[in-house]
Structure 1
Amino acid sequence: MKNTLSKSLAVSYLFWGGVILLLLPGLVHAYLLMPFPGSQNLNAITVSYYLEKVVTPLRIVGALLIVWYAIFYFNNNSRRGKIVKASLLGLGFISLYFTDFKFQAERMFEEPQTIKFANFINNSVPESTVIIGVVSNGVAKAYPLNYLGYHHKIQDNVGTQPVLVTYCTMCRSGRVYNPVVNGIRQNFRLVGARHYNAVIEDETTKTWWYQANGKAAVGQLKGSQLDEIPYEQSTLAAWINKHPGSLILQPDHHYLSDYNDLKNYDKIQAVDKDSTLKNKDSLMRKSWVVGLVINGQAKAYDWRRLFKKRFVNDSFNQTNLLLTLEKDSLTYHSFNTNVNGKVLHFNLDKSGQLTDVETASLWDWDGLSISGVLKGSRLVKIQSYQEYWHSWKHFHPNTLIWKEL
């Protein structure tokens, strides 16, 4: 009697072990790669990476154990036992739908089915739309944020330059990278998110890369860095004013409702919608900042303060710079203000044009002096990023914070 009971328990443990192997790895994997409560705060990208490699083999083992149990021992259960085990398996298959379909990043945020560009005359994108603009080899292209925000990435060419144009709405970080790695142009897939930042995987080596800094976090190329391509974030109107011949990414009609969900994403801060906050000028988790990295040192500028001032003359890490907003209050620029060995300081005149204090020359929003003593001179652009504060400080833990004097 005791041996029979022991055998029955052993067989039952095999069934439950099969259920655990079939379901648990996939559930943990989905939890770690989606923004569920608490999941993104864990330092678990390596665990997530290797767990993805073993989920399928573990499921096969689990399924075989369950099939073996069903064939030889299922009928030995009481009616209640059969109902419990069958119900559990039914719930398990429902959970598989969520982990392998509903909450799989590349299914939630699909690649564009059609990538179509138009010139300004044939364009259907509103001029007030915020875009990421890229110029290469004399060709300019504009990628609207609400399209990028849904797809997370567009794999394209600007002229002869291959580009990986990315945008992560969880951290408000746009980046443009060269997708050529070790001489091979890579196709990237969206894996999920860690620390609220999109993680992408290259097709050849299966390495995982963070979108926010282009670094390989885990895999064969761990420690490598994607080459960054300069870009600007502005309204389409401001971009076309500088690049009238620019091509503009048009909406893919398959995803119009998804784009519409992000319609005002690029215009309204979360802190502006929170009526409980008394001091909206303090940096909150989802406060917008403009971040720069100069000679390895990062610095963040509070967007709300920049919005009020419209321009900031600053200096850090041996670099003098200007941050400024155009009249639309959405298009921002950052420049090195050293011209011909002389440091310039800037202001806005009564008409809202940039003028330097030292020579009173006028400058356009592309950094070109259009009149005055310095006419024809050009400011050097510095790459900067509009990003959520929580993301900027995570990927730049030693960042400085601009404090208004």
Structure 2
Amino acid sequence: MVFISARRAFALLLSMFLCVLPLHLQAQDVQHSSLLVEQSLQVLVGSREDRNKVLAIFEQRGKTDVVPALIQVLRFQPNSTQLRSTLVSLTGQPDQNWGDWMLWQEDHPEIKPFDGFDVFKARVTQLIDPNFADFLYPGVRHSIRLEEIAWGGVHKDGIPSLDNPEMIPAKKADYMRDDDLVFGISINGDTRAYPLRIMNWHEMFNDVIGGVPVALAYCTLCGSGILYETDLGDGKEPMVFGSSGFLYRSNKLMFDRRTHSLWNQFTGRPVVGTLTGTDLELKTRPVTITSWEQWKVHHPKTTVLDIDTGYRRDYGSGVAYREYFASSELMFPALVDQSENAAKSYVFVLRLQSKEQAWPLSKFRDDHIIQDKVGEQKVILIGNEKTRTVRAYTGNDEVFSLAEKAGYLESDSGSWGITEDALVAEDGRKLKRLPGHVSYWFAWNNYSQSGAFAD
């Protein structure tokens, strides 16, 4: 889980390392090191006198290539007057806090860090957790800006994934309340429910459902749970994913345990590490958020995640991230256009090939059907705002409406049954299910507007 007290945690870790971290880098650590790398590290861990000397040098030098490093340091030295003054001097921007500097940096991709910034970034993150060397190291390949990668407040696997967790019959899940929300999944007749009250603590599961290896990549910060197939079809064992402890624009960066590459949770593509630059993109599967009551009604034979996960957590309803979910504020910085929707309003996101679109969940108040198009593809959306439920299907030329009988639609041609796989007509015709997902507006808006779907 990401903790708001991340800055205080880092301060404690930093004090432990001050006596052992050399101000001059080891040659084997920085094959492409420069004086700027050493000086930037001194701003982080040197004495006050040394820090101020380096900052004065940076101001006199007058180049903005050190700004990304100084923004990194500011997170852990938020009250450093000289550091803040140097940032103002180099950029001409007003004094502001770390979060606002990160937003400014996101909005100014022309500000490039100095050569060797990857060395600096690696050394800083290894102060927090030596295992971060698996992800960030000198020369690491990346398709996103390293300076925008932020520490989320935990170590590697600090938010532990659930791997092949125990499932139990619905009738034995006496810990569940009817209004608890679940991630509902059905593949090849294997129907399961993964309660959000548990997944809020783990944010990732690796499992085999209906014979298909899958992983649910759930970013609590952006309200997005996406189900990915993990068999890449390369003849190797399926990928197994975990939470790295890093964020990019307030979205988790997951990692695969085979190569320790970092993956964009929202797009299913590797963005840092050895797999970066390949054409890999994880295939998505449909997943439904709904209430436990509704899921049981439609799937009485469902199994559900056992509350005995092997970890000691308070899995009570509404416990994890209570304050964050109740707040309109983001925990980590990310640019967002709020002219259409509030940053943390829920939307349903559908991505078909290179086209993507989002619909506010408010449009599904009191159950609703939307017929629309994504690119040239006609789609049918059936949703309920209260339970955060939306299912998407391919459309046709017919006009649909909710039938009086629950679980059915009506069209000019007759009745259609709503299933997890398809809309099924009385004559056997089918309109297949599409793999969309729910998200906070800010996450989809940030990624779609920035072109990050092309990462």
Task: Provide the TM-score with structure 1 as the length reference.
Answer: 0.66
Distance in 2 between residues matched to 1:263 and 1:137, nearest whole Å: 33
Counterpart in the other structure of 1:297: 355
Q: 1:103 is matched with which residue: 147, 153, 156?
A: 153
Partner SS for 2:363: helix
Alignment of 1:196 onto 2:250: yes
Relative to structure 1, is the Cα distance of residues 295 and 314 closer, same or farther in structure 2, using a 3 angstrom cutoff? same
The 1:154–1:50 alpha-carbon spacing in structure 2 relative to 1, beyond 3 Å, is farther
Tell me the SS of whatever aligns to 2:442: helix
Which residue does 2:413 correspond to in 1?
A: 359
**What amino acid sits opposite 1:188 in the alignment?**
F
Task: Report the equivalent of 1:54.
Answer: 123
**Cα separation, partners in 2 of 1:212 and 1:332, compared to 1, 3 Å:** same
**CA 1:169–1:57 in structure 2 vs 1: closer, same or farther (change >3 Å)?**
closer
1:227 aligns with 2:277: no
2:72 partner amino acid: V
Contact in 2 for aligned 1:177/1:228 (Cα 8 Å): yes
Cα separation, 1, equivalents of 2:404 and 2:355: 35
Q: Please, which moves more after superposition, 22-31 or 246-255?
A: 22-31
Contact 2:289 2:387 in 1 (8 A): no
How far did residue 56 of structure 1 move? 7.6
TM superposition shift of 1:330 = 3.2
Q: What displacement does 1:309 show?
A: 6.4
Structure 2 CA distance for aligned equivalents of residues 353 and 266 of structure 1: 34
Structure 1 residue 255, shift from structure 2 partner: 0.9
**Which residue of 2 is the match for residue 391 of structure 1?**
443
Number of residue pairs matched by the alignment = 329
| Of 292, 303, 307, the match for 1:236 | 292
State the AA in 1 paired with 2:209.
V
Corresponding residue for residue 310 of structure 1: 368
Question: Which shifted more, 195-204 or 135-144?
Answer: 135-144
CA offset at residue 129 of structure 1?
Answer: 2.0
Find the residue that maps to 1:189 and give its secondary structure: strand
* TM-score normalized with structure 2 length: 0.60
Calculate the aligned-residue CA RMSD, in Å: 4.3
Cα distance between partner residues in 1 of 2:118 and 2:289: 32
> Helix, strand or coil: the match of 1:305?
helix
Distance across 1 between alignment mates of 2:164 and 2:74:
28
What's the CA shift for 1:119? Answer: 0.8
Q: Percent identity?
A: 18
Looking at secondary structure, tell me which structure has more helix per residue.
1
Q: Secondary structure at the residue paired with 2:449?
A: coil
Matching residue's letter, 2:267 = N
The answer on 1:138 being equivalent to 2:189 is yes
CA deviations over 1:253-292 (Å, ceiling 9, x no partner): 6111686424879997949xxxxxxxx9941111211111
Partner of 2:99: 37
The answer to whether 1:186 aligns with 2:239 is yes
| Residues 1:180 and 1:363: Cα distance change in structure 2 (over 3 Å) | closer
Alignment partner, residue 125 of structure 1: 176
Which residue of the other structure, out of 384, 391, 401, is the alignment partner of 1:333?
391
| Worse-superposed segment, 347-356 or 209-218 | 347-356
Judged with a 3 Å threshold, the aligned counterparts in structure 2 of structure 1 residues 264 and 349 are, in CA distance, closer, same or farther, namely: farther
Contact 2:366/2:384 (8 A) holds in 1? no
Structure 1 unmatched ranges of 5 or more: 1-12, 60-98, 272-279, 400-405
The one-letter code of the counterpart of 1:302 is P
Pair 1:283 & 2:341 matched: yes
1:162 to 191, 213, 216: 213
Change (3 A) 1:325 1:268: farther
Conserved 8 A contact 1:146-1:265: no
Q: Single out whichever of 158-167 and 206-215 deviates more from structure 2.
A: 158-167
Take 1:296 and 1:266, find their aligned partners in 2: how far apart are those partners? 32
Letter of the 1:233 counterpart: I
Do the aligned partners of 2:222 and 2:251 also contact (CA within 8 Å) in 1? yes
Q: How far is the alpha carbon of 1:357 from its aligned partner? A: 3.6
Q: 1:173 pairs with 224, 227, 232, which one? A: 224
Q: Partner amino acid for 1:158?
A: I
Task: Answer with 347-356 or 197-206: which moved more.
Answer: 347-356
8 Å contact from structure 2 (residues 363, 385) kept in 1: no
For 1:212 and 1:55, how far apart are their aligned partners in 2?
26
Range that drifts further, 113-122 or 388-397:
113-122
- Residue equivalent to 1:381: 433
Measure how far apart 1:194 and its partner are. Answer: 0.7
Deviation, 1:132, is 1.7
Deviations 1:90-124 (A, max 9, x none): xxxxxxxxx99x92254653345993321111113
| C-alpha distance in 1 between matches for 2:386 and 2:345 | 19
* 1:28 and 2:84 correspond: no
- Could you tell me whether the CA contact under 8 Å between 2:366 and 2:385 is conserved in 1? no
Q: Is the 8 A contact 1:295 1:317 kept in 2?
A: no
User: Against the structure 1 CA distance between its residues 225 and 294, is the aligned structure 2 distance closer, same or farther, given a 3 Å change threshold?
Assistant: closer
Equivalent residues of 2:170, 2:302 under 8 A apart: yes
Amino acid at match of 1:157: V
The more displaced of 159-168 and 49-58 is 49-58
Distance 1:303 1:228, change over 3 A: same
Spell out, residue by residue over 1:60-103, the C-alpha distance to the aligned partner (whole angstroms, 9 max, x if none): xxxxxxxxxxxxxxxxxxxxxxxxxxxxxxxxxxxxxxx99x92
How big is the shift at 1:397? 2.3
Distance 2:281 2:409 in 1: 38
Q: Determine if contact 1:213/1:395 at 8 Å carries over to the other structure.
A: no
Match in the other structure for 1:344: 398
What amino acid does structure 2 have at the position aligned with 1:324?
I
Structure 1 counterpart of 2:238, one-letter code: R
CA distance in 1, matches of 2:408, 2:265: 33
Distance in 2 (CA, whole Å) between partners of 1:287 and 1:201 is 27
Is 2:272 the partner of 1:218? yes
Q: Is the contact between residue 269 and residue 288 of structure 1 (CA under 8 Å) also seen in structure 2?
A: no
Q: 1:176 to 1:357 in 2, by over 3 A?
A: closer
2:215–2:240 contact (8 Å) kept in structure 1: no
Q: Which amino acid aligns with 1:162?
A: P
Letter in 1 for 2:377: T
3-state SS of 1:254 partner = coil
Larger radius of gyration: 1
